[in-house]
A and B are shown apart, each in its own frame.
Chain A
Amino acid sequence: MEYIGEHLLAGIIGNFFVSIAIAFGLLSTVAYFLAEVKKDEAWRKLGRIGFWGHSAGVLGIVITLFMMIFNQYFEYHYVWQHSSSDMPLRYIFSCFWEGQEGSFILWMFWHVVLGNILIFVAKYWENAVMTVFASVQVILASMLLGIYIFEYKLGSNPFTVLLRDHPDFADLPIFTIADYTANLDGRGLNPLLQNYWMTIHPPTLFLGFASTLVPFAYAIAALWKREYISWVKPALPWTFFGIGILGVGILMGGAWAYEALSFGGFWAWDPVENASLVPWLTMVSAGHLMLIQRKKGTSVLSLFIFTALTFCLILYSTFLTRSGVLGDSSVHAFTDLGMSGQLLFYLVFYVILSIFLIAKHARHFPNANKEESIWSREFWMFIGALFLFISSFQIIFSTSFPVINKVFGTNFAQSAERIEYYNKWQMPLAIIIALIVAIGQFLKYKDTKPSELLKNLSISLVLSLIITVATAVVMNIINPFVIALLFTSALAITANLDYWIRILSGKLRLAGPSIAHVGFGMILLGALISTSQSDVISQNTSLYDVSILGEDFNNNENILLMKDDTLMMGDYFVSYRGKRKDGIFIHYTVDYMQSNSEGKLETIFSLYPFVQLNPRMGNVAEPYTKHYLDQDVYTHITYAELEERSNEAKTEEHSVQLGDTIFAKNSFLVLDSLNRQPNKERVGLTESDLVLGAKFTVYDVETQARLIEPMFVIRDRSFSFSVPDSIPDLGIKLSFNGIDPETASFKFELEEKAPKQNEFIVMKAIVFPGINVLWIGIIVMGLGTFLAVFNRARRKN
């Protein structure tokens, strides 16, 4: 069959760019490798040309895929799968990187950007570093191939045509039409990803991922060139750049989760979240070990280990989230695209390469003869790095249960109290790490007098003690771990501020590290207060006692609100006011009220949590949050009737005589008399109509008796009909359908609607105090880190 209207050229162009990217990537790898081995300027030039060709290929892939989504070429599987014609244009970027292929492209794109910068700044290191860079790019580009090599599928191609390359779809009836493209529509973007954070979070996160390659490439280059020290200087600013970007990227994901997901919080220790947090922790370790190395010349071995570990953990997290191994343990892992073998191969390859190279060269590493003093900055930085390692190990080990089960045939599963479990381990570690962050800057390299340290810290100690006691009293905190972390994170903030103001005299040029540490302290403090003191105010206030089922099962956190009823909830009175359908969204209006000075309830604010209807991927409830400076009130729907209640009427026929009674659900109707001269005009009948009215008295429980009069009409002596009468608030409608001469009875039809039941919603509301400290902390830490990177990169010599 000849199809018309397909845009097959776009796919050909896309695949052409994939080939370009791989071919030039290979060329670049080989040329740079030879340039390094032969120290030949000509090979270096070829290496550059190769990388530029590769860059053009990657840009071509990006533009082609973007244009395909923009122009809605739904005949392409990727476009069809991730977008639809009714999708707002602002989500076009989210569509681009929703799928695995798109996110690989995004990752490659950032490598291209970083690689091109390195070509110009790496100078002496260019050949070796770019060999590693280009080889990684070839591997990533191979993920887009989607070709079979000996029955093994290599990569997943984003330019496949639904009809031609996906046999499952070829038999569908739509493909029997020649111009099927005119009618084909995409499946659309996952409703959870239709959020503005999804436009900015993935590129930031992937830039963070990409930036781990730079120190790794330098480390491998250093081992290759047997220059174990000099690589640290150029790699250091890159490492801290990565720390800043990846840190901000991870927490942007937290902001998205807080805003768009309904688990209630910004962090749930989900495997996918953990998989990106862990490399960040090890990268922070690596960065600080680099600082030690620069100052003291020690820690070379651990520096190599942590740098390689960070990159390998990025690959591992790629494997975890994309191989399908997490399966049902994560809410937002990708599904398997049959690339798990390939991903595992790359992971193992780089792990073995790193171990092999480090082990081979370790005995040549310069060794410090002198032991470090206990009162030196480098000692505590090193200890801090180790604690970060323990923290990351704890997270990744527990997250890896599905992998461990696969490898060893065990049967471990994460406990239902996942958040409590992780917090239990991470809290003590965070207490120590915050303490080290607090004292670190006041310690001098080599040695510090303990008395001097104490003197320097005294202001901050007093200040944080006051903050801790005040917070603990106001918020009624008694948990010793919470109090301890409250104290050390407050100390991390005050001590670093103090150091900046007093020791650095507030100079901005040197302030980077201090500001970043203040931000880190704020993140810890904000996370601590907002999670430990969060208060589920939507308690179950129904009469049903759930505690008879056992203490553990008292999951008492949803509230049922009848429409227009007012219930007390925390410091507020809440009332559900109704719902409003707006396209695919149903917004539920919930008023939060407090009593004013006159003792009357006054609406303080209204929240509009909503449900996004998506018949294919499932409806999604999204929260709505009222932000205050000191706290957030977070509300989301856990259960609601989505459609208007179907209020179908029931009809019943009755045959009665004068004086008889018809019984309805909430009332009864007595046939009092017949009326031969009813008011015809009132109901729009003409003079010539023959009309018989039936007068009923209707009694119900609450109101007085009321009269209704349905009529039986014969028009033109040829056909008959009824003019019914009704009482809307009782939901009854009575028609007079005729006379039965044999039994001398009258036929009526009673139509009765179910009495109107009130609409309701079930919702959950949580108060998060101090969460703004966390968000501000992220910005402060990001700014501080970039300031530090900027200043260090500026110090050229």
Chain B
Amino acid sequence: MKKTHITLVVLIAVVVAVMIGAINDSSSYANFEQAFSNPGEEFHVVGKLAKDQEMVYDPLTNPDLFTFHMTDNLGEEHKVILHKSKPQDFERSEQIVLIGSAENGEFHANEILMKCPSKYTDGEVKTKEQASF
């Protein structure tokens, strides 16, 4: 076998290994039901902030703890414990993606992604008078 062939075979093997590794390390999107039936496993859960429920952020006791309730896309609501400070403009979020796992009936999130109202579609027009600060 020529060196070129060996190189090619090794290269393909490495590429396959990279793909398998990437998939093994990946997480997956889920709803609350799936997340709570596999406690401890990491999931991405997409949903909306349950605005009628209580939000607690008390930086005086722990700046790295924020609790709120989220309703997933199937309408299931759970208490969420975010182990980070409360994100800026949290109340304005339109959609939330939580990355974390279920534990003891609560969803513990390490990471949160928020989608704020689209910058391009809302039909509000500012006039110059309002613009002055």
Contact = CB atoms under 8 A, between A and B. Distances in A.
A546 B62 contact: yes
A413 B132 CA distance: 43
B119 A553 contact: no
Contacts of B46: 328
B2 to A, nearest CB: 7
B89 to A, nearest CB: 4
Interface in A405-421: 411-416, 421
Interface stretch (B48-56, B69-77, B93-101): B93-101
Contacts of B99: 413, 415-416
A638 B29 contact: no
Interface residues of A, number: 65
Contacts of B14: 390
B128 A184 contact: yes
Contact of B2 (A371, A401, A762): A371
A450 B77 CA distance: 67
Nearest to A329: B113
Contacts of A412: 23, 26-28
A394 B119 contact: no
B28 A619 contact: no
A510 interface: no
B29 A372 contact: no
Given A544-B61, A546-B62, A620 B15 contact: no
Central interface residue in A371, A386, A555, by most chain B CB within 10 Å: A555
Given A394-B18, A415-B26, A583-B133, A762 B110 contact: no
Given A86-B132, A619-B89, A557 B64 contact: yes
A621 interface: yes
Interface in B71-115: 81, 83-86, 88-89, 92, 95, 97, 99-100, 103, 108, 110-111, 113, 115
A616 B119 CA distance: 8
Contact of A183 (B115, B121, B129): B129
Contacts of A1: none
A379 to B, nearest CB: 8
A618 interface: yes
B27 A397 contact: no
A144 B54 CA distance: 47
A546 B120 contact: no
Nearest to A541: B63
Given A390-B18, A415-B42, A416-B100, A619 B88 contact: yes
Contact of B21 (A169, A183, A335, A425): A425
Contacts of A554: 83
A294 interface: no
B9 interface: no
Contacts of A352: none
Nearest to B118: A335
Interface string A544-573: 101001101111111110000000000000
Given A553-B108, A584-B133, A172 B28 contact: no
Contacts of B83: 546, 549, 553-555
Contact of B22 (A398, A544, A560, A638): A398
Central interface residue in A328, A386, A584, by most chain B CB within 10 Å: A328
B63 A639 contact: yes
A81 interface: yes
Interface in A621-675: 621, 638-639
Given A172-B125, A540-B62, A555 B15 contact: no
A583 B132 CA distance: 10
A190 B120 CA distance: 12
A85 interface: yes
B121 to A, nearest CB: 7
Contacts of A470: none
Contact of B63 (A172, A187, A411, A542): A542
A554 B89 CA distance: 24
Interface residues of B, number: 60
A549 B108 contact: yes
B110 A421 contact: no
Contact of A550 (B11, B22, B23, B103): B103
A104 B5 CA distance: 42
B131 A86 contact: yes
Contacts of A639: 57, 59, 63, 85-86, 88
Contacts of A81: 120
Interface string A164-205: 000011001010000000011111001000000000000000
Given A546-B83, A555-B84, A85 B7 contact: no
A184 B125 contact: yes
Contact of B15 (A390, A556, A616): A390
A414 B130 CA distance: 41
Contacts of A760: 59-60
B95 A328 contact: yes
Nearest to B18: A394
Contacts of A762: 59, 63, 85
B18 A393 contact: yes
A514 interface: no
Contacts of A168: 121, 123
A637 to B, nearest CB: 9
Central interface residue in B11, B27, B110, B126, by most chain A CB within 10 Å: B126
Contact of A555 (B27, B64, B103, B128): B64
Contacts of A85: 128, 131
Given A386-B11, A542-B63, A639-B59, A185 B22 contact: no
A299 B3 CA distance: 13
A84 interface: yes
A183 B57 contact: no
A546 B85 contact: no
A543 B130 CA distance: 45
A413 B28 contact: yes
B18 A386 contact: no
B127 A621 contact: no
A8 interface: no
A304 B79 CA distance: 55
Contacts of B110: 416, 552-553, 555
Contacts of A411: 28-29
A335 B133 contact: no
A611 B89 CA distance: 12
Nearest to A174: B125
A397 B59 contact: no
B82 to A, nearest CB: 9
Interface in B5-56: 7, 11, 14-15, 18-19, 21-23, 25-29, 42, 44, 46
A613 B125 CA distance: 18
Nearest to A394: B18
A617 interface: yes
A623 B87 CA distance: 15
Nearest to A398: B22
A617 B120 CA distance: 11
Contacts of B100: 416
A558 B64 contact: yes
A552 to B, nearest CB: 7
27 contacts: A84-B126, A172-B123, A184-B128, A190-B119, A328-B113, A372-B3, A390-B11, A412-B23, A413-B26, A413-B29, A414-B27, A415-B27, A416-B111, A540-B64, A546-B65, A549-B81, A549-B108, A552-B110, A553-B110, A560-B59, A584-B133, A616-B126, A617-B119, A620-B88, A639-B57, A639-B85, A760-B59
Given A183-B128, A328-B97, 18 more contacts: A85-B128, A185-B127, A328-B113, A371-B3, A397-B18, A412-B28, A413-B44, A540-B62, A546-B64, A552-B108, A560-B59, A617-B116, A618-B116, A619-B89, A638-B63, A638-B84, A760-B59, A762-B63
Leading 6 A-B pairs by shortest Cβ distance: A555-B83, A416-B99, A638-B85, A544-B62, A762-B63, A558-B63
Interface of B: 2-3, 7, 11, 14-15, 18-19, 21-23, 25-29, 42, 44, 46, 57, 59-65, 81, 83-86, 88-89, 92, 95, 97, 99-100, 103, 108, 110-111, 113, 115-116, 118-121, 123, 125-133
